[in-house]
Amino acid sequence: MSDVASREYDLSQTEPRPLDAPSYASVSDYIALLKPRVMSLVIFTALVGIVRAPGEVHPVIAFTALLCIAIGAGASGALNMWWDADIDAVMSRTKRRPIPAGHVTPGEALAFGLTLSVGSVLVLGLLVNELSAALLAFTIFFYAVVYTMWLKRSTPQNIVIGGAAGAFPPMVGWAAASGGIGLESILLFLIIFFWTPPHFWALALYKSGDYARAGVPMLPVVSGTAETRRQILLYTLILVPLAMSPFFLGMAGLAYGVVSGIAGGLMLLLAVQVYRRREGAPAEQAARRLFGFSILYLFLLFAVLLVEAVAPAGLGL
Amino acid sequence: MADENKTPQTPKLQAPKPQTPAPEIEGVVLTEEQKRRRRARSVAIALTLAALCVLFYVVTIVKLGPAVLIRPL
């Protein structure tokens, strides 16, 4: 672990401000603390969990559940930025975040994250149901404490285990709508869980210098790029049939079967390219392609599940 | 001449007003930009609270339904 990864702040652009100093934070800084891009994926997958769940749920209750899940996800993002401000400051991808940029103090981010965490769990529990609130609380805890504070700086398996936090939202949505946990919601969880390693390791392959500087033990930094390519391929080999399983188990329709088959084939092809192209620009290009397509792949899978759930039965989806 | 007997009147000297030092500004002085950002944050908090009020009201109606209007007189 490098010096940078200790809890010492060495933010060249900012001096630590006294606690009673006036805040420079704008509303957009606080929105940035919520990690809106991650939040949009959480909203989308949670929505699929809500609409796929058995039984009827009132649209207002569904909206409330979705709002709480989104705020909870944003809160854990703010807590992540509070804890990781030191390493964010040295990574090109994250150095413009509100804390390293000096717009928001770590204390402000911590207070914001804790307030929203407690608020989102309480409102979900009071207005929707207790099971979904408990799952949301566990998701926030898992992301902020288990992943951010413990795993991220201590093991190259950080994003494998930590990926569970990103996989919970459809299960929370399912629980909010049905009051239970079904096999399909577990499958949705597993799809995101096994999607996370190839997605993040593809990014880490061409950003490994960043992670090394920050002292984050990502797999390419610790075990090398060859092992990372092998692991990406292995996880993709598990992911593709797993993503097709809702069709084979009769939980999804023909459209899902076709899309998950074709997109899964492309995902596997790109993972093989990453495995085979190991040097220079072609290697980086392959990793970038896999990273970009992995986002589209997950979006397609969940979009078809969503369309199948809401489309009129007459369409045969 | 009567006018010559008059002694010239010297203008009354008024005692100088005690000079009070300019009040020192104590505490934190916000710049215009900080004031603008604080106002924007306050508006955002107000809108959020208003939205929460609406949400709680609507959810109450949804959960209780028409029964919300039935109460003993």
ipTM score for this prediction: 0.78
Contact B25/A at CB under 8 A: no
What is the distance between the alpha carbons of residues A102 and B62, in angstroms, rounded to a whole number? 44
Can you tell me the mean pLDDT for A112-140?
A: 96
The answer to whether B28 contacts chain A (CB < 8 Å) is: yes
Report how far residue A207's alpha carbon sits from residue A287's, in angstroms, rounded to the nearest whole number.
10
- Cβ atoms A38, A118 nearer than 8 A: no
State whether B34 and A23 contact (CB < 8 Å).
yes
Report the pLDDT value the prediction gives residue B13, as an integer from 0 to 100.
58
CB contact (8 A) between residue B59 and residue A24: no
Residue A280 — φ and ψ, nearest 5°? 65, -155
Strand, helix or coil for residue B34? helix
Four-CA torsion A156, A161, A162, A164, nearest 10 degrees = 160
B69 or A56, higher pLDDT: A56
Question: Chain A contact for B68, CB < 8 A?
Answer: no
CA gap B56, B62 in Å, rounded:
10
pLDDT in tens, A167-181: 999 999 999 999 999
Q: Give the number of other CB atoms < 10 A from CB of residue A218.
A: 23
What pLDDT score does B18 carry?
61
pLDDT, tens digit (0-9, with 9 covering 90-100), for A100-120: 998 999 999 999 999 999 999
Taking the CA atoms of residue B52, residue B54, residue B60 and residue B63 in that order, the dihedral angle to the nearest 10 degrees is -90
Largest separation between any pair of C-alpha atoms in chain A: 64
- Asked which of A25-34, A40-49, A78-87, A157-166 is least confident by mean pLDDT, the reply is A157-166
Nearest-Å Rg of the Cα atoms of chain B is: 35
Instruction: Show the tokens assigned to A19.
Output: 């606690």
Tell me, what amino acid is at A270? L
Residue B44: list chain A partners with CB under 8 A. 27, 30
**For the segment A208-263, what is each residue's pLDDT rounded down to a tens digit?**
788 888 888 888 888 888 999 999 999 999 999 999 999 999 999 999 999 999 99
A193 vs A6, higher pLDDT: A193
Q: In Å, how far is B22's CA from the nearest CA of chain A?
A: 24
Q: Which of B45, B57, B62, B68 to mutate to test the interface with A (most CBs of A within 10 A)?
A: B62
Angle between helix axes A169-178 and A36-52 (nearest 10 degrees) is 40
pLDDT at A121 over 70: yes
Q: Does A125 touch chain B (CB under 8 A)?
A: no
- A71 and chain B in contact, CB less than 8 A: no
Chain mean position to CA B33: 18
Q: Per the structure block, which two tokens stand in for A182?
A: 């079904």
- pLDDT for A106 equals 92
Q: Is A96 helix (H, G, I), strand (E, B) or coil?
A: coil
Least confident segment among A7-11, A69-73, A160-164, B23-27: A7-11
CB A176 within 8 Å of CB A69: yes
Query: Above 90 in pLDDT, residue A148?
Result: yes
What tokens were used for A161? 């285990």
Is A9 a residue whose pLDDT tops 50?
A: no
What is d(CA A58, CA A61) in angstroms, rounded to the nearest whole number? 5
Angle between the A158-167 and A183-206 helix axes, to the nearest 10 degrees?
140
Q: What is the pLDDT of residue A209?
A: 81
pLDDT at A2: 40
Q: Which two tokens stand for residue A301?
A: 């899978």
Average pLDDT over all residues of chain A:
89
pLDDT score at B20: 64
Domains and CATH numbers, chain A: 25-181 (1.10.357.140), 182-317 (1.20.120)
Give me the pLDDT at residue B57, please: 92
Burial of A141 (0-12, 13-18, 19+ CB in 10 A): middle
Selection from A101, A97, A103, A69 nearest residue A81 by Cα:
A97
At residue A206 the predicted structure's pLDDT band, cuts being 50, 70 and 90, is confident
B59 contacts A60? CB cut-off 8 A: yes
Decide if B34 and A24 are in contact by the 8 Å CB cutoff: yes
Of residues A62 and A14, the one with the higher pLDDT is: A62
How much is the pTM? 0.83
pLDDT above 70: percentage of residues in chain A: 91
A67 CB neighbours in chain B (<8 A) are 55
CB pair distance less than 8 Å for B40 and A27: yes
CB contact under 8 A, B62 and A67: no
Q: How many CA atoms, within 13 angstroms, populate the side-chain half-sphere of residue A256?
A: 27
Could you tell me which residues come within 8 angstroms of residue B57 by beta carbon, excluding any fewer than 6 positions away?
none
Pairwise CB contact (< 8 Å): A26 & B30: no
Show residues of chain A in contact with B63, CB under 8 Å: 127
Q: Compare B2 and A30 and report the one with higher pLDDT.
A: A30
By CA distance, what is B30's nearest residue in A? A22
pLDDT at A280: 82
pLDDT value of position B54: 96
- Which residue type does A248 have? F
Q: Tell me the average pLDDT across A62-68.
A: 97
Q: Is A112 on the interface with B (CB under 8 A)?
A: no
Any chain A CB within 8 A of the CB of B55?
A: yes
Q: For B25-73, what is each residue's pLDDT tens digit? A: 667 788 888 889 999 999 999 999 999 999 999 998 898 877 777 777 6
Closest chain B CA to residue A67? B55
Structure tokens that stand for A75 in this block: 């809160």
